Amino acid sequence: MRGTNVPRMPAQWDGSVIPRLVAWYRQAGRDLPWRHQPTPYQVVVSELMLQQTTVATALVRYPHFLQVFPDFGTLAAASEDEVVAEWAGLGYYQRARHLSRLARQVSAHGLPSGETGWQALPGVGPYTAAAIVAFAEGGRALAIDVNVRRVLARMLALPGGRGLDRAIRQAVAPRLPMNSGELNQALIELGALICRPSRPDCASCPVATACAGRHQPQAYGRALQRPPVQEVAVHLVAVRRAGRLLVRQRTTRLLEGLWGLPEVAGGKDGLPPGVEGRAIPDPPLRFTHAFTHRRWRVRLSVVDGDGVGRWIDPLSPDVALAGPDRRAVGKLVAGGYLDG
């Protein structure tokens, strides 16, 4: 994208494209709870939740999260561990920690102003800041997520690659309406429902006549190649004692703050530090657990013994277990390894 001129918006952008797009959105847009009279708090929670989480999952978890933490004040008053526990199952727990720290800053200093002010808070990048300004404040901002990027790249016939967002912003930002919330939502919805990555439904697009890339849509806005998935060997050790399991709080960035079974470094044989006991003779259980750019190949051993950590009831744990560890505990329970 370097060295290219600023792309030109369709001549009918202001006169017909925006009205047609917004009218289509009002009729065909999905009824999502975070779109109902959104406040800055609701937009922050929903946007952080939707990072690396499907809409279907967020639809289930968002209402409950707002019941537990209805505003910045209640969220700020909770401990970070409590917020992470409520986030359990959504993955990418750094988002929960960012949300907790953001709430404390807002409670102490008040709501920031504008995109720059929001981006100074933990976990808020350019997209989220623009979404808050557009959706909750009724301001003028362009929230470029993966859907908006694809729609506008195709409309402007822009190839993918680095510099794409900058080119889109240079072309579109000066032509945004003062209250751009509905337009942003319409662009997001168009990308999710019609202008899909593969098999775009151009025949159903309300603004197809204004799209410069409509005859070859998949040639434009191509995503950067994702890094290969990293395979990681992990050895978890279930230390059992009188029907209870030993867990420890994880400190690595991927699952920081969550609890899990003791782990042998590097997936090697043996016992983790601070664990003593005798391994049962059964062969270890095995399963895989996928993250976005990483796949754990888990070997799960069972040990009768003792160790440093916290003992929990595996049927009703009082701590937030990481996803792989919840699966491990489920396999132990299902296999009868914790009976008696």
What are the residue numbers of the active site? 47
What's the distance, Cα to Cα, between the start and end of the chain in Å? 64
Secondary structure of residue 198 in the 3-state scheme: coil
Interior CA angle at 56 toward 52 and 60, to 5°? Answer: 105
Q: Which amino acid is at 47?
A: E
> Rg (Cα) of the chain, in Å, rounded?
24
Instruction: Write out the DSSP string of 263-305.
Output: EEGGG-SS--TTEEEEE-SSPPEEEEEE-SSEEEEEEEEEEEE
Rounded Cα distance, 23 and 16, in Å: 11
> Which residue in the block uniquely carries the two structure tokens 């623009």?
130
Helix, strand, coil percentages for the chain (3-state, nearest 5)? 45, 15, 40
The residue among 226, 201, 255, 215 whose CA lies nearest residue 146 is 226
List of residues 6+ apart from 227 with CB closer than 8 A = 293
List of residues 6+ apart from 101 with CB closer than 8 A = 80, 122, 123
- Whether 173 and 144 have beta carbons less than 8 Å apart is answered as no
- Whether 156 and 170 have beta carbons less than 8 Å apart is answered as no
Burial level of 111, CB count in 10 A (0-12/13-18/19+)?
Answer: middle
